[in-house]
Amino acid sequence: MRTRSALELINTIENNCDIEFLRIGDFNAWPLVRLSIWSELVTPENELAISKWKLIGQQNLTTIINYASDQFLLKIPNRLKFLMYRWARYSEILMIGRPSHAQFVVGFENEFDRVLDPIAETLQSKFVVSSAVLGANTSRKSDKTRLRLVFDGPTTKITGLTESGLMNELERHNLNLTSLKARFSQSTDLFWRGFYSFNQIVNRSTVLKKVFVSVWYSPDMIGIIASARQANIFVTDVQHGLDPTNAMGSWRISKIPIGGYELVPDRFWRWGSDIGETLNHTINKSDDHSSVVGGYPWIHFWHSLRQTKIDPDENTPNNSYKRQLLFPIRSPYGESKERIPDFLLDFLRIPHPDTIVVLRLHPNDIYGYEYLKHRLSGQIQTAYRISDASSDMYQSIAESSHLLTAFSAVCIEGLAFGVGILLFGADAFVNYKTLIEDRTFLWTNGNLEDLENFMNTSHNANSKTYDFIVSSEDLTTSTANKLVSLAKMRKPFR
């Protein structure tokens, strides 16, 4: 289902149900339930439970060891796990990011968290800042602590599914109730594991006042947010990507209870005023979950890093090809059923001696590499290379002459590098309609001739990014300090 259609259906369901009946423990469960429904609607393959071991088998030895150690730690009493978060005792601010945000920068050995590290950098002179990763960190080049969801405690299921009228409403729209119930169960388990894991951090610290997270809309992170807000720790979600439908699709809730949701961040850090204003409108300008424009600090942070290593004007491609097409791959989502669309595959099957296509894997797509090997096994006559997800994205953009994507944030970022941009697909047309109509972006419905014409056109450098993205060190610093000042007083440790 298209992302916008899914959003409209969820809003209809929300308005036809009494969501106050939905509870998980002492919390209103609607944000968690809504996330499960969203995932059901926009995931092309309606599979719920791929075996964890099957997932692990696609990844490296580090991940397998992480998984095995988690299973072992789950069986140990919580009182024996007290050393896991000993660093939390002195932390005033905690950054909780994702392994998928890890980014190498040419000239540096260790990875950076492109979303949270620039913010942490601005706060470290005044506060004790700790950084953690939620999820299996497969890289040995990261200095982030891994949050292990291995703590347990009393749990409850989501209640009120029938009393709220939700199940009848889901059935009325011909949704798969068996699949959705399984999603609800899986989300509940991850929620409580996140909740009790973060409780261990809360119990070890009397000074923690502020948490920055990215991305908030997953069951385990929602559990962490519920635990933090219950302890009066101020939570901000930092925008990680740009997708006018999906980024808002996870949070266009039309009903906000008095006092807000315990399962939702206090504030949303947005890259630009266009997204910030849209978000505030969709949540009825609620003071409980409002947005603040802090910009996308990775842009200026990356430039400052690069200036310490190379000539900042050195943006020439490091290959002998006249044209380089960058194609960021993402897993099937919404209407996009194939990682590589047919018209791009047709382009690769035709000789283009002066062109190379860079296929950049998505960090959350564990099947991407195997897919590419299978999909590209035919008569490929145009040069291509596969780029790892942790490679320096901005360096790849700077080296490229053209960029093709469905609706990745890279299209907006590419404008700042003067790269020609072609969008494709129905979702992209809806999401970026204004920018397509004014020819900021070119668009195709999947036509090979459109791609050929695009590649044969030179594109002049410009820095027009509208108000979707702003980036400055002063803005990052002022916004980060403002959010810290809003942090509530902690409840005393008991």
pLDDT of the residue at 429: 87
Contact 365, 331 (CB under 8 A): yes
Query: Quick one: pLDDT at residue 417?
Result: 81
d(C-alpha 132, C-alpha 143), whole Å:
9
* pLDDT score for 422: 95
Q: How many domains does the chain have?
A: 2
Rounded to the nearest 5 degrees, what angle is found at the Cα of 476, between the Cα atoms of 473 and 478? Answer: 105
Q: φ, ψ for residue 130 (rounded to 5)?
A: -115, 150
Residue 129 structural domain = 3-297+474-486
- Same domain for 350 and 415, yes or no, is yes
CA separation for the pair 273, 279 (Å, rounded): 10
DSSP 3-state of 180: helix
Residue 462: inside a domain: no
For residues 318 and 279, membership in a common domain is answered with no
Query: CA angle at residue 290 from 432 to 33, to 5 degrees?
Result: 80
CA atoms within a 13 Å half-sphere pointing along the CA-CB vector of 1: 20
Residue ranges in the chain whose pLDDT is less than 50 = 46-59, 61, 244-250, 276, 278-282, 284-285, 312-317, 461, 463, 490, 492-494
AA identity, residue 475: L
Is there a contact between 298 and 271 (Cβ–Cβ < 8 Å)?
Answer: no
Residues 206-238: b if buried by 16+ CB within 10 A, e if exposed: eebbbbbbbbbbbbbbbbbbbbbbbbebbbbbb
Q: Specify the 3-state DSSP secondary structure of 208.
A: coil
Q: Are residues 333 and 402 in the same domain?
A: yes
Closest by CA position to 120, among listed 308, 303, 297, 302: 297
Before 202, cis peptide (omega within 30)?
A: no
CA distances to 161, 216, 432 from 251, in Å: 20, 10, 19
Structure tokens given for 460: 């002049």
Return the pLDDT at 192.
95
Task: Please check whether residue 494 lies inside any domain of the structure.
Answer: no
**What element of type H or E holds 129?**
strand 129-134
- 383: in domain: yes
392 and 479 assigned to the same domain = no
Q: Which residues contact 28 (CB under 8 A, 6 or more apart)?
A: 19, 20, 22, 257, 261, 262, 263
Instruction: For residues 195 and 320, state if they share a domain.
Output: no
C-alpha distance from residue 86 to each of 130, 143, 207, 367 (Å): 12, 16, 13, 36
CATH of residue 104:
3.40.50
For residue range 395-411, list pLDDT tens digits in order: 889 899 999 998 777 88
Positions of E strands within 1-143: 23-24, 27-28, 93-97, 102-103, 112-113, 129-134
Residues in contact with 433: Cβ distance below 8 Å, sequence separation at least 6, in sequence order: none
Residue pair 103/113 in contact (Cβ under 8 Å)? The answer is yes
pLDDT computed for residue 460 by the predictor: 55
**By C-alpha distance, which of 168, 219, 165 is closest to 24?**
219
Q: How far apart are the first and last CA of the chain?
A: 48
Domain containing 368 — which CATH number? 3.40.50.2000
Instruction: Classify residue 468: in a domain, yes or no.
Output: no
Is residue 483 a contact partner of residue 475, using CB atoms and an 8 Å limit? no
Does residue 465 fall inside a structural domain? no
Q: What is the pTM of this model?
A: 0.80
277 lies in the same domain as 137: yes
- Per-residue model confidence as pLDDT tens digits over 197-247: 999 888 888 889 899 999 898 999 999 999 999 999 999 999 988 654 444
Answer yes or no: do 211 and 287 share one domain.
yes
3-class DSSP assignment, residue 347: helix
Residue 365 and residue 269 share a domain? no
Q: What is the pLDDT of residue 393?
A: 86
Residue 281 and residue 418 in one domain: no
Q: What share of the chain is helix, strand, coil (3-state, %, to 5)?
A: 40, 15, 45
Question: Is residue 460 one of the residues assigned to a domain?
Answer: no
Tell whether 387 and 242 lie within a shared domain.
no
Please report whether residue 478 resides in a domain: yes
Statement to judge: residues 155 and 272 lie in one domain: yes
pLDDT confidence of residue 348: 96
63/148 same-domain check: yes
Residue 47 lies in a domain: yes
Half-sphere exposure of 144 (CA within 13 A, CB side): 31
Query: 420 forms bridges with which residues in the sheet?
Result: 402
